[in-house]
């Protein structure tokens, strides 16, 4: 049984608190313990993959984004203040890594969808719209994916990214404006 499985089993039995175990792992990581870091990664890898999967469909891109997230977390762990849950801090690191990576990615490299799951009658419309979304700048796609993909509000995005509410509002306004122009141009 690996460390995380053991921790989970003990937590299920009520023998230990998962948060205190996480705090122990974080403290060990701060001392440079890479085994503790591997356990910490195991605790959060699914969550990070799920979030990064919102922006990257190709496995290699997703994995690189997740890897970058954890390596950034490792190097910046001293900036984490334990008053807030570690999960929130890691979400912010992950979103910022994805954002930076998305900005570096050429639009053609990141496919908005590699398959269409819509009914056949709507498939053409869906393909057309997906093509339009691909042409949006990465910054705009990022905000739209958080708004419509994750379903987060402006306040939630600001809180999770560490951006001001005004900044998110401006980005969302610009992104919606560009999306609107694209959708209108496509219909003429």
The contacts of residue 150 (CB under 8 Å, 6+ apart) are 54
Q: Which C-beta is closer to other proteins: that of 14 or that of 34?
A: 34
The two tokens of residue 97 are 């890594």
Question: Of 14 and 128, which CB lies nearer to other proteins in the complex structure?
Answer: 128
Least distance from C-beta 170 to other proteins, angstroms?
13
Rg (C-alpha) for the chain, rounded Å, is 19
Q: How far is the CB of 88 from other proteins (least distance, A)?
A: 20
By the rule CB under 8 A, 71 interacts with other proteins: yes
- Cα angle, residue 165 at apex, residues 77 and 62 outer, rounded to 5°: 50
For residues 160 to 179, the per-residue mask of contacts with other proteins, x marking binding by CB under 8 A and - elsewhere, is ----------------x--x
- Contact between 26 and other proteins by CB under 8 A: the answer reads no
Question: What is residue 149's DSSP assignment?
Answer: I
Among 41, 95, 97, 102, contact with other proteins (rule: CB under 8 A): 41
Q: For other proteins, which is the closer residue by CB, 24 or 30? A: 30
Using the minimum distance from each CB to other proteins, give the nearer residue, 13 or 78. 78
162 torsion bin: left (phi>0), alpha (psi -120 to 50), beta (else): left
Output DSSP code: residue 79: G
Q: Which of 10, 11, 24, 54 binds other proteins (CB under 8 A)?
A: 54
CA-CA distance, 106 to 23, in Å (whole number)? Answer: 39
Report d(CA 156, CA 172) in Å as an integer.
Answer: 13
Looking at the chain, list the stretches that DSSP marks H as alpha helix, in order from N- to C-terminal side. 3-12, 18-30, 34-52, 59-75, 86-104, 120-134, 138-144, 154-161, 165-187
Which residues bind to other proteins, rule: CB under 8 A?
29-32, 34-35, 37-39, 41-42, 45-46, 49, 53-54, 56-59, 62-63, 66-67, 70-71, 74-75, 77-78, 112-113, 117-118, 122, 125-126, 129-130, 132-133, 144-145, 147-149, 151, 153, 176, 179-180, 183-184, 186-187
């Amino acid at each position: 049984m690996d460390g995380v499985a053991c921790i989970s089993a003990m937590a299920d039995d009520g023998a230990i608190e998962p948060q205190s175990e996480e705090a122990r792992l974080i403290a060990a990581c701060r001392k440079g313990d890479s085994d503790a870091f591997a356990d910490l990664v195991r605790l959060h890898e699914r969550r990070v993959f799920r979030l990064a999967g919102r922006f990257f469909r190709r496995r290699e891109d997703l994995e690189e984004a997740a890897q970058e997230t954890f390596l950034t977390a490792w190097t910046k762990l001293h900036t984490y203040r334990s008053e807030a849950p570690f999960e929130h801090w890691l979400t912010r690191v992950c979103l910022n890594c994805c954002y930076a990576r998305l900005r570096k990615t050429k639009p053609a490299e990141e496919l908005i969808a590699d398959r269409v799951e819509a009914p056949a009658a709507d498939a053409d419309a869906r393909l057309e719209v997906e093509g339009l979304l691909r042409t949006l700048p990465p910054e705009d796609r990022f905000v739209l994916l958080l708004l419509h993909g994750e379903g987060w509000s402006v306040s939630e995005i600001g809180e999770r990214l560490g951006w001001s509410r005004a900044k998110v509002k401006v980005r969302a306004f610009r992104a919606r404006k560009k999306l609107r122009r694209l959708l209108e141009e496509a219909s003429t």
